[in-house]
């Protein structure tokens, strides 16, 4: 089997997207974009409530209305930490279910019996409970390699294939992660070297896309000057929302951007697996 180029994988991934776009878009919007947006809004609202309460406590301590006790400040902080942890677990569970569902949808599309977004997501939920969630935790822990290896994150790039192996080969999570890290799913050593380069390139592009999204959101803060609109739209509450128009737009951009980034990873890694293990995918 000849080595596969990065551009060829992307071309085939786009072909797969065109054949699955109707259900894939439903899946992305309903199970990735909306949950992320909701979590961002809830975290912002809770953080603002906690900050306001802490300011009141500090003012009361300074004025002598209450005694100067560290626990007065610790209580609202600990409450927010528990709230944040709960939302992080729920959101992580939903996003992992979405990601596994999208892999299933991409790889098993049958024109005669198409998989709907609902069926795919239910399948993703089943895979996520509980093993898929443990796989997410392992991938999260592996991402701490950035502390020692910098932005390249080679092991995280290789491990990106683990969810694909977990779904398509129905392997246990540790075996899927092991096969992904040593590229054992590839049929030859020659393809293994090529695969390392492809996955590292994918990791670098993912990192670049993440950085671009962050810069775009930061640039959004200055968009009122460019559009010559009132600064109040950027700092005052917008309509009935408890936050400004700027923050609403930034949350929408973040949720939509990260949803697309996850979808790109799912399509790319699934297509790469199919091309590496099957002669043709179309």
Question: What are the 10-residue block averages of pLDDT along the chain, 282 residues in total?
Answer: 79 92 94 92 80 77 71 74 87 95 89 83 93 93 85 88 93 91 81 86 90 83 68 69 77 93 95 79 43
| Whole-number Å distance between alpha carbons of 148 and 200 | 17
Query: What is the spatial distance between Cα 101 and Cα 117, in angstroms, rounded to a whole number?
Result: 8
Answer yes or no: is 132 within a domain: yes
Residue 82 lies inside a defined structural domain of this protein: no
Report the number of distinct structural domains present in the chain.
Answer: 1
Domain annotation covers residue 153: yes
Whether residue 145 is contained in a domain is answered as yes
Task: Give bridge partners of residue 244 from the DSSP assignment.
Answer: 237
Q: What is the pLDDT of residue 281?
A: 44
How far is the C-alpha of 108 from the C-alpha of 127, rounded, in Å?
15
User: What residues make up the domain containing 114?
Assistant: 6-33+96-277
Domain presence at residue 105: yes
Q: Is residue 57 one of the residues assigned to a domain?
A: no
Domain-embedded: residue 86: no
Q: Is the residue at 45 inside a domain?
A: no
pLDDT at 149: 78
Cα–Cα nearest to 200, from 163, 260, 150: 150
Tokens for 133, please give them.
Answer: 């969630």
pLDDT of residue 258: 94
pLDDT tens digits for range 176-201? 999 999 988 887 765 788 888 999 99
pTM, to two decimals: 0.87
The beta-carbon contacts of 176-183 under 8 Å, at least 24 apart in sequence, are: 176/135, 177/135, 177/138, 177/139, 181/155, 183/158
């Amino acid at each position: 089997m000849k080595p596969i180029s990065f551009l060829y994988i992307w071309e085939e991934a786009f072909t797969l997207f065109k054949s699955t776009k109707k259900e894939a878009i439903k899946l992305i919007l309903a199970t990735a974009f909306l949950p992320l947006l909701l979590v961002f809004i809830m975290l912002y609202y809770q953080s603002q409530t906690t900050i306001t309460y802490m300011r009141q406590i500090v003012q009361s301590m300074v004025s002598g209305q209450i005694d100067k006790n560290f626990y007065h400040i610790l209580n609202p902080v600990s409450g927010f930490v528990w709230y944040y942890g709960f939302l992080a677990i729920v959101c992580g569970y939903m996003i992992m279910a979405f990601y596994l569902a999208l892999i299933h949808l991409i790889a098993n599309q049958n024109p005669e019996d198409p998989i709907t977004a609902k069926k795919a997501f239910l399948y993703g939920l089943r895979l996520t409970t509980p093993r898929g969630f443990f796989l997410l935790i392992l991938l999260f822990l592996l991402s701490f390699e950035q502390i020692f290896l910098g932005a390249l994150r080679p092991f995280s790039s290789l491990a990106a294939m683990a969810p694909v192996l977990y779904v398509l080969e129905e392997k246990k999570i540790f075996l899927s992660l092991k096969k992904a890290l040593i590229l054992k799913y590839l049929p030859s050593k020659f393809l293994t070297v090529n695969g390392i380069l492809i996955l590292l390139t994918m990791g670098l592009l993912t990192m670049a896309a993440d950085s671009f999204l962050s810069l775009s959101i930061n640039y959004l803060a200055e968009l009122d000057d460019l559009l010559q609109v009132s600064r109040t739209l950027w700092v005052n509450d917008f309509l009935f929302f408890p936050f400004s128009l700027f923050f609403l737009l930034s949350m929408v951009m973040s949720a939509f951007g990260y949803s697309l980034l996850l979808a790109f990873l799912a399509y790319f890694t699934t297509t790469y697996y199919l091309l590496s293990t099957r002669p043709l995918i179309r």
